[in-house]
Amino acid sequence: MSPKLRPFTLADVDSLVRYANNWNIARNLKDLFPHPYLEQDARNFIEMATRETPIHIFAIDLEGEAIGAIGIHPQSDIYRKNAELGYWLAEPYWGKGIMSSVIKEAVNFAFSTYDIDRVYAIPFGSNIASQKVLEKNEFRLEGRLEGVLFKNGHLEDELIYAVRRDQLNL
């Protein structure tokens, strides 16, 4: 049971709706991630995720099924040496080491594809599982912004985790 990263296709609509339409996933993501997650949301997402070259938003594929998504988002202007990492995984696959392996693959993709020095992620302060998977992948906590995110009717801390090219000896 080894996951791989691949571009999304319209064949992924059903699995996206099945897995992404889950409050336990949506509650830890930006409001841009809809809940409920409907078929049109999946189609819009796939169109957006496959628009740019190189593809940098990938399906997490397990045995031919999209069970989540992971993306590297290069930044611009004075942040151009950075890329943001974003991800989610279907709840039935939590705690199985899948996210840890695909984060490593996405970070390697980022550093080999883009002229960047840093990949960062910004999990919510309450999302302990996301913090742990980043730490397993050599991300370091760079900062905590207290009460700056408004989600689920209350303020959340924003954590800033990052891994740097020189830290990985690339």
Two tokens at 1?
């049971």
CA distance linking residue 41 with residue 31, whole number of Å: 13
CA distance linking residue 32 with residue 61, whole number of Å: 23
pLDDT at residue number 98: 96
**Average pLDDT over the chain, rounded to whole?**
96
Are the beta carbons of 22 and 33 closer than 8 angstroms?
A: no
CATH code, domain carrying 77: 3.40.630.30
Domain of 114 in residue numbering reads as 4-168
Q: How does pLDDT run across 77-124, given as a tens digit for each residue?
A: 999 999 999 999 999 999 999 999 999 999 999 999 999 999 999 999
CA distance linking residue 110 with residue 56, whole number of Å: 8
Number of structural domains (the chain) is: 1
pLDDT at 17 over 80: yes
For the chain, what percent of residues have pLDDT higher than 70? Answer: 98
pLDDT at 1 over 70: no
Bridge partners of residue 5, in order along the sequence:
60
Bridge partners of residue 69, in order along the sequence:
59, 88
For the chain, what percent of residues have pLDDT higher than 90? Answer: 96
Q: How does pLDDT run across 144-155, given as a tens digit for each residue?
A: 999 999 999 999
Task: Supply the pTM of this predicted model.
Answer: 0.94
